[in-house]
Amino acid sequence: MRICVVGTGYVGLVAGAGFADFGNDVMCADVDQGKVDRLRRGDIPIYEPGLQPLVQRNAAAGRLRFTTDVGQAAADVDAVFIAVGTPPKADGSADLSQVWSVARTVGQHASGFTVVVTKSTVPVGTADNIRGILQEVAPDKDFAVVANPEFLKEGDAVNDFMKPARVVIGTDDERARQRMRYLYEPFVRTLDRLLVMDARSAEVTKYACNAMLATRISFMNEMAGLCAQVGADVQQVRLGMAWDDRIGSRFLFPGAGYGGSCFPKDVKAIISTAREHGGHLQILEAVEEVNEAQKVLLAQRVLQRLGQRLHGKSVAIWGLAFKPQTDDVREAPAMTIARVLHQAGATLRLHDPVARETFSAELPAADRVQYFDDNYEAVSGADALVLVTEWRAYRRPDFRRIHDLMREHHLFDGRNIWDPAYVREIGFTYVGIGRDPEASEKAF
């Protein structure tokens, strides 16, 4: 098939390369000239495991090309995938201006029967609105609109895209259904997990999934708070829950709150959609409130332990990306924590295996903000070490070396990955999230 993917971010680039890998002819279009230039040189602008060889292989085979000319890319193709950003507006609703702009361009340039697909996460009714735009811009052209939400997760995006748990296709147009089935069948060969439904249901499905996952995280963070208050250990509670197959083990980890480019904005957007329709999503409003509190919790623990004024104190932070295996720092809890501690007067010593560049674009290196290439260098002379993102290399560090390097010896484990008894034996104080009654007693 001849495919155009508009937007070469985490979703568009993975989707474009993935479609090309199955032999399709893919043109990726992005308005960002710098990104397109880099991609043409085989240089991947984002960190995503496995993406570079996938892109390079398909570009070398001539099946994957890049352009800044969205109109030309959308002309004479079987399907156009819209994978541009849908960031939150100030009121929490999704800003769809990039989607509308692409729809207009596609309307002007498409030829022949073209399937226009939303891959971006878009509020219910967007497919209908795109149809309206296309009819207005090009009343004589033949289009079908499909809602095809993407469920990949950053850090494992290539695997998720190539072997999707399911593919959701929302449309009532039979020709579009057939085309989408033809395109996706190679991806779901083992188990026929292709779910065809109406566009509105497909649009809601995406938000419902992210809202559910965010709910599990906030639920566990709330349980962690309770455990800390009553002297229970949320790690034990989690295991007791996870073995129940009605509950399952995933997304039950308490931590520093959810972040990233999806959960925060999607929870806000679905709340906003409900409001626009006169409804009220009470659970999700609470999910958001719990998350906001959780994002500052670690910083509060540091202030409780080191004092409210941190002038002259030095705090190392390990893990800046919103989760491991990505360089994405959008809505990252580490940013909230860093800002609170910096405001309190602390000198920050920051480390992340890949997100240094993206994080420093928002929080530039300065007098009291220092970045390090080496995680041990980051703790040198620090009074506290705050673990925010659980990259693998942080899981079993050399604590004796860390102890020797630090000035004071306070550990704040935002992901409960360290053994409190072991690190205390070495001479640290330890605070986790909702675990270890001994630490809770000291901290609260």
Ligand X SMILES: NC(=O)c1ccc[n+]([C@@H]2O[C@H](COP(=O)([O-])OP(=O)(O)OC[C@H]3O[C@@H](n4cnc5c(N)ncnc54)[C@H](O)[C@@H]3O)[C@@H](O)[C@H]2O)c1
CA distances to 17, 83, 234 from 76, rounded to whole Å, are 19, 19, 56
Beta carbon of residue 155, minimum distance to ligand X (angstroms, whole number): 9
Q: For ligand X, which residue has the nearest CB?
A: 9
Q: CA nearest 241: which of 212, 219, 214?
A: 219
d(C-alpha 30, C-alpha 47), whole Å: 18
424 exposed, middle or buried (CB, 10 Å; 0-12, 13-18, 19+)? middle
Query: Which contiguous run of DSSP H or E holds residue 56?
Result: helix 51-60
List, by residue number, the catalytic residues. 262
For 136-262, where are the E strands, in sequence order?
A: 143-147, 167-170, 194-197
C-beta atoms surrounding 317 within 10 Å: 29
Beta carbon of residue 31, minimum distance to ligand X (angstroms, whole number): 4
Beta carbon of residue 33, minimum distance to ligand X (angstroms, whole number): 10
Contact assessment for residue 85 and residue 9, using Cβ atoms and an 8 Å cutoff: yes
DSSP state, residue 327: -
Cβ distance to ligand X smaller for residue 159 or 429: 159
Binding site for ligand X (CB under 6 A): 6-12, 29-32, 35, 70, 83-86, 98, 101-102, 120-121, 150, 152-154, 261-262
Cβ distance to ligand X smaller for residue 121 or 336: 121
Beta carbon of residue 1, minimum distance to ligand X (angstroms, whole number): 20
Cβ distance to ligand X smaller for residue 101 or 370: 101
Cβ distance to ligand X smaller for residue 176 or 262: 262
Beta carbon of residue 16, minimum distance to ligand X (angstroms, whole number): 11
Contact assessment for residue 34 and residue 199, using Cβ atoms and an 8 Å cutoff: no
Q: CA nearest 203: which of 145, 264, 125, 101?
A: 125
d(C-alpha 211, C-alpha 214), whole Å: 5
